[in-house]
Amino acid sequence: MTTETINPADVKMPTLKAAAVPLAGGERELRLDLFRGMALWLIFIDHLPPNILTWFTIRNYGFSDATEIFIFISGYTAAFVYGRTMEARGFVVASARIFKRVWQIYVAHVFLFTIYLAEISYIATRFENPLYAEEMGILDFLKQPDVTIVQALLLKFRPVNMDVLPLYIVLMIFLPLIIWLLRRKADLALGLAVLIYALTWEFDWALPAYPNGTWFFNPFAWQLLFVFGAWCALGGARRMARMIASPVTLWLCIAYLVFAFCVTLTWHVPRLNVFMPRWLESWMYPINKTDLDVLRFVHFLALAAITIRIVPKDWPGLRSPWLRPVIRCGQHSLEIFCLGVFLAFAGHFVLAEVSGGAWMHFLVSLAGIVIMSAAAWLFSWYKTEIGKGDKRAKSGDADADLAGGGS
């Protein structure tokens, strides 16, 4: 994560409100924070063993999940903020700020890796249960810690649930070139992203992982969603506004979502599989998450197109106190993502050692969301109160990506 995407398009039927030019910027786009926060909650719930709240995540009702939301919004906000910087200060200054942010995310990844390994290793040793180490993918670390740490620093070794940050680091490295090209030849930049995506599927391009295999999220494929988000931020959404407002688009999106729901229903109710034509199964499966299957990408686009109709930019609910916790999580998403990974394993441990009942599943999920929301409130308070008078605390650049979204 539940989907927020094409930001400037303010669609209201039967008329279409023109979208603002992103680089003109000013007021914070709360929809981005809202849906990024929801994506963080959904990712946390999906990382737990299946439970009651799992049935509220979008992956059970279609082909895409919260990851697509997360990467799209990351590309959108990064291009939105650093695009303004590049316009005002030039390519060199914008690139320097982007690489500084890449370094900060890399440090956060290394810190999370260290704490996560310590958490899993302690639990596995304390309770004499090596299955924890095996299930979380750290057996290689326990066998060869020296080699594994080096591979982790190279982003090749990652325990379970730690694949998103390395993907984002790689995508951010190329952000200066992406923004530079988008500001000059936007359609060419998006076309190149599509070409790289197609070549990835044709020639199986991938980055190697340690000790074997490839990255779970293939950057050569997922860059398409990231670049598409940046393209939307730098004028693409405004250009698509009329198409998004079309009733034809609406009904096509609804039809595709219904189709995806019917297909996923056969995964949960095997008896319904008899209604699936064999030719359709052979064409669709496997629906590859590693290489961002086209079916997943289109499903995300359909959700996005419908969502911006339901939640316009001036929707009063964005100011509701009931949504404030999830919006705050979206505004501090780097910290909340790291906390969510830690809490997911803690919840896994509680469910395995204490109780695996339905109510315990629900309480663990709810407790994790409450802790994430409380942490986001603390971060917001610290930024507001402790950061008063600090001009850098009010800078949009600090919040351009996983840390929060442009101010």
User: Which pLDDT tens digit goes with each residue over 34-82?
Assistant: 999 999 999 999 998 877 778 889 999 999 999 999 999 999 999 999 9
pTM: 0.88
pLDDT in tens, 263-295: 999 998 889 888 899 999 999 999 999 999 999
pLDDT at 196 over 50: yes
Give me the pLDDT at residue 6, please: 37
Query: If you ran DSSP here, which 8-state letter would residue 382 be given?
Result: I
Count CA within 13 A, CB hemisphere, residue 324.
9
pLDDT at 23: 38
Distance CA 403, CA 299 (A): 26
State pLDDT tens for residues 335-388. 999 999 999 988 888 888 777 778 888 899 999 999 999 999 999 988 887 766
Burial (0-12, 13-18, 19+ Cβ within 10 Å), 309: middle
pLDDT digits (tens, 9 = 90+) for 24-33: 344 578 899 9
Going by C-beta distance under 8 Å and a sequence separation of 6 or more, which residues neighbour residue 125? none
pLDDT exceeds cutoff 70 at 296? yes
71: Cβ–Cβ under 8 A, 6 or more apart, which residues? 167, 168, 171, 222, 225, 226, 229
What average pLDDT score do residues 171-175 get? 97
Please tell me the predicted confidence (pLDDT) of residue 400.
Answer: 53
pLDDT at 140 over 80: no
Residue type, 70: F
Q: Own/partner pairs for 108-113, CB < 8 Å, 24+ apart?
A: 108/165, 108/334, 108/338, 109/155, 109/162, 109/165, 109/166, 109/169, 110/152, 110/153, 111/338, 112/162, 112/165, 112/338, 112/341, 112/342, 113/152, 113/158, 113/159, 113/162
Whether the predicted pLDDT of 104 surpasses 80: yes
The position carrying tokens 């204490």 is: 354
Residues 137, 300, 176: CA angle, nearest 5 degrees: 75
pLDDT, residue 388, reads 62
CA-CA distances (angstroms) from residue 215 to 87, 99, 178, 195? 34, 22, 22, 20
Distances (CA, A) of 189 to 7, 82, 179, 185, 291: 19, 16, 9, 6, 20
Stretch (H or E) spanning 16: strand 16-17
Amino acid at 348: H
